[in-house]
Amino acid sequence: MARRTVSPRPSGRQVVFVGPFGVGKTTAVHTVSDTPVVRATAGTPSSSEEGTRVARRLAEAAGSDCGQWRRGPGGPVDVLAVAGQTRFGATLRPTVAPGSPVVLWLYGQTPYALDEAEEWLEYIAPETEESPLAVAVTRLEIPGDRPALVDYRSVVDRWARGAPLVSADPRDRESVEDVLRAALSAQVAPRPVRR
C-alpha cells in the first residue's frame, strides 16, 4: 500500500535534492532531517484512493525520500531526495512545488566530473527553469587528478549564471545545512537551453 504522507507535517517550503544515483542525496536527507525520513513507495492504493490525484502523485513520487529540517531560516523546510534514474523528469514534476529550490549533487572525485556536471545541468534544465538552483559537489577531498570546485563555475554559469556552488559532504550535518542555506538564498537565473 502506498504511504499516505510524504512528510510528517508538510511545512509548505521545500528543497529538492537531485543528481546521479549514489551521490548521497538520501544520505544528506537523513543527515539533516529532524524528523524520521519517509520514503514514498509505489503500491496498490486503497479502493477509496484509486484513480485520485493523491494516488497518482504517490505512485509518481515513488522512491523519493522526505525529511524535515526544522532549524531552517524562516522555519521548517521539507527536504526531498529524488531518484537519480532515467525516470527523473516524471518523478520530479509531481514531487516539486513550483519555484522550490533544487540542489544538484555531483560527484567530484573523477577526472570526467565536469562532463557529468554538464550532462546533468542539461538534463534537469527543462524541469527546473523556474526554480532556484544550487550545485553541491561531493568528494573533492579525495586525492587524485580531478577538477577543483572553481573549475565547475563556468559549467554551472552556462546553465544558471551565479547559482550557488559549494563543496559538501552529505554525511556532515553542518555541510548539508550550508547547502540548504545556499539553496534557500538562490535566485531563479535565466537558463538558456543548450543543445
Condensed to tens digits (0 to 9), the pLDDT of residues 9-21 reads: 455 689 999 999 8
CA distances from 108 to 24, 79, 155, 168 (A): 12, 22, 14, 10
Query: How does pLDDT run across 147-173, given as a tens digit for each residue?
Result: 889 999 999 999 988 999 999 999 999
Question: Which residues are CB-contacts of 152 (< 8 A; sequence separation ≥ 6)?
Answer: 106, 113, 114, 117, 135, 137, 165
Q: What phi, psi does 53 have (nearest 5°)?
A: -60, -40
- Write down the pTM of the prediction: 0.79
| Distance of alpha carbon 94 from alpha carbon 96, whole angstroms | 6
Given pLDDT bands bounded at 50, 70 and 90, which one contains residue 90? very low
Q: Are strands 165-167 and 133-138 parallel, antiparallel or unpaired?
A: parallel
